[in-house]
Amino acid sequence: MPIARPAASVTLDGFELRVLHIPLVSPFTTSFGTETVREVIVVRALTPDSDGWGEIVTQAAPLYSSEYTQSAWDVALRFLAPALLDARTLEPEQVAGVLEPFVGHRMAKAGLELAVLDAALRAEGRAFGEYLGAVRDAVPSGVSVGIQADPAALVDRVGGYLDEGYVRIKIKIKPGRDVADTAAVRDAFGAIPLRVDANSAYTLADAELLAELDRFDLLLIEQPLQEDDLVDHAALARRLRTPVCLDESIVSAKAATDAIALGAAAVVNVKAGRVGGYLEAVRVHDVCRDAGIPVWCGGMLETGIGRAANAALAALPGFTLPGDVSASSRFYARDIVTEPAVLEDGHVRVPTGPGLGIEIDQVALDDFTVERTLLRR
Ligand code: NPQ
Ligand code: MG
């Protein structure tokens, strides 16, 4: 469903952008590398009534996608924020249209749009979840587990998360760390809800190897091939029993429509940053729901800002599979919000306060800030 009731317009006085470095509780290893510190951009939209907060989920390097911190910083300050400040007074639903002339840079656009949405909804006293069309007050919480030193260490790590109450496990795989890692987790824990995520580490030439994963009854395999390999994903899907889920490839609602039409995606991971914003994420949800394709909410190691927004998104009716919306403590010992998301009986609560329903911990925000700039109109 489209947004039932649009938000009121806001007048933009400026944007503050900060680069943050937040230590991770443990290294997070994927097929594209290991992170020990989350580098992320936090956006503050300045309006006469209230500040609004957003987050640009890029990484320091263009490994998950083509965007990275300095590309987002540059495009946001040089083009995107000035275009929004020129528009001056606008409804949050108009943000994407103002930014549309600028090709790509979806994560940067998403972070700015979220800050404007938060400011508008705070001024109205409306919760982001209600605005998006949430139908649940809490969402089941899954966890994404990085590649460990060896399968035994992976089993230890997964066991810890199961003990905490996470309702679904996703393990990262890459060539050489796939079948044995998956087998170790299956052997240790039996019929738990289990997925694997390859982050584009394979090619269609690996189809026979990937078919070996069929015997583990996985819920899905996520993004085995490259971002632009829709046709190859469709060919691979025909050779696997495991459902193919796309993450990196789904950069818009149109991309979702195309992937579904090709038979490249039986399931879709929805990430607002990857598709250019939470409003486009709702449209991805809508096209998938119309096509009978289940979706779930992905994660980008969000701070408390993006994590609150993800919980709201994941509460929409088409999100029928548990997502990667984990507790803040999965990644951070200290977050930048006063009440970080916690795990309660395997669920994360959807905030109900105005806007994103979060309060920024200004001391933590300042402590993690390594670069800061203010753009005023
Ligand atoms: C995924 N996320 O689903 C991504 C990939 C990912 C939770 O598995 C820093 C910033 C490190 C973003 C590592 C999860 C990251 C990152 C992995 C995103 O594919
Ligand atoms: Mg993924």
Q: Calculate what percentage of the chain has a pLDDT beyond 70.
A: 100
Which is the closest atom of ligand 1 to the Cα of 40?
10
Ligand 1: does its nearest atom lie under 6 Å from the Cβ of 328? no
Ligand 1: does its nearest atom lie under 6 Å from the Cβ of 47? no
pLDDT band at 173 (very low <50, low <70, confident <90, very high): very high
Q: How far apart are CA 349 and CA 178, in angstroms?
A: 33
Question: What is the whole-number distance in angstroms between the Cα of residue 55 and the centre of ligand 1?
Answer: 15
Q: How far apart are CA 294 and CA 267, in angstroms?
A: 5
Among all ligands shown, which has an atom nearest to the Cα of 63? 1
pLDDT band at 4 (very low <50, low <70, confident <90, very high): confident
Among all ligands shown, which has an atom nearest to the Cα of 222? 2
Is 158 within 8 Å of 188 (Cβ atoms)?
Answer: yes
Helices (H) and strands (E) in the chain, counts: 14, 15
pLDDT score at 268:
98
- Ligand 1 atom 12, closest CA: 300
pLDDT score at 111:
99
Ligand 1: does its nearest atom lie under 6 Å from the Cβ of 197? yes
pLDDT band at 194 (very low <50, low <70, confident <90, very high): very high
Q: At 211, which helix (H) or strand (E)?
A: helix 207-211
Q: What is the mean pLDDT of residues 124-144?
A: 98
Ligand 1: does its nearest atom lie under 6 Å from the Cβ of 199? yes
Q: How far is Cα of residue 204 from the mean position of the Cα atoms in its chain? A: 26
Among all ligands shown, which has an atom nearest to the Cα of 330? 1
Ligand 1: does its nearest atom lie under 6 Å from the Cβ of 326? no
Residue 254 annotated to the active site: no
Residue 271 annotated to the active site: yes
Catalytic residue among 109, 170, 174, 271: 271
Question: What is the whole-number distance in angstroms between the Cα of residue 28 and the centre of ligand 1?
Answer: 8
What letter would DSSP give residue 76? Answer: I
- Convert the pLDDT of each residue in 206-242 to its tens digit: 999 999 999 999 999 999 999 999 999 999 999 999 9
Q: With a cut of 90, say whether residue 6 has pLDDT above it.
A: no
Question: What pTM was estimated for this model as a whole?
Answer: 0.98
**Token pair listed for 157:** 């790590």
- Ligand 1 atom 6, closest CA: 300
What letter would DSSP give residue 131? Answer: H
Q: What is the mean pLDDT of residues 72-89?
A: 98
- Convert the pLDDT of each residue in 272-318 to its tens digit: 999 999 999 999 999 999 999 999 999 999 999 999 999 999 999 99
Question: What is the whole-number distance in angstroms between the Cα of residue 90 and the centre of ligand 1?
Answer: 32
What letter would DSSP give residue 94? Answer: G
Question: What is the whole-number distance in angstroms between the Cα of residue 199 and the centre of ligand 2?
Answer: 6
